Amino acid sequence: MVRIIGLDPGLRNTGWGIIDAEGTRLIYVADGAVHSDADAPLADRLLQIHSQLMEVLRSFLPDEAAIEETFVNADARATLKLGQARGAVMLAPAALRVPVAEYAPNQVKKSVVGAGHAEKQQVKHMVKLLLPKASLKTADSTDALAIAICHAHHRGARSLRAVLDRS
């Protein structure tokens, strides 16, 4: 069995969701979000996110982490800030030697719903079907659980590719 934490990075709210995967069986463990103080300087906000995630990681001890890749939007400043938050989020599992996989938003949706352009409500519905005991505390934690599910579905293929790339 492998414990996976999915991470949905954001500067204001970063969602996290934890599942255990045993073969094709997925077991809900926990979900939630960490938050930063919108009035604090950027560096302090990044530290708040990182510190809170470190607590989550130390509490649940995941074996692997998965994070959503940043999508680029029209607002370059917002994209840059999201990228900085993503860096703080990625650093937390890496600091504990937890491997981090990255997935495009469309790949997450396709893995969970079957369509790369699925709506948020469709993703939420499928997460609830796949993890009936999930509390789905916030939209961010629901997305994080979807990222964890995506990783559970693709981790075997990723490992095989890594082995083939080394040979």
Spatial distance between the Cα atoms of 109 and 107, rounded to a whole number of angstroms: 5
What's the Cα-to-Cα distance from 133 to each of 18, 59, 125, 128, 138, rounded to whole Å? 12, 20, 13, 8, 15
Task: Check if the beta carbon of residue 148 is closer than 8 Å to that of residue 17.
Answer: yes
Q: Which residues are catalytic?
A: 8, 68, 140
Spatial distance between the Cα atoms of 129 and 65, rounded to a whole number of angstroms: 22
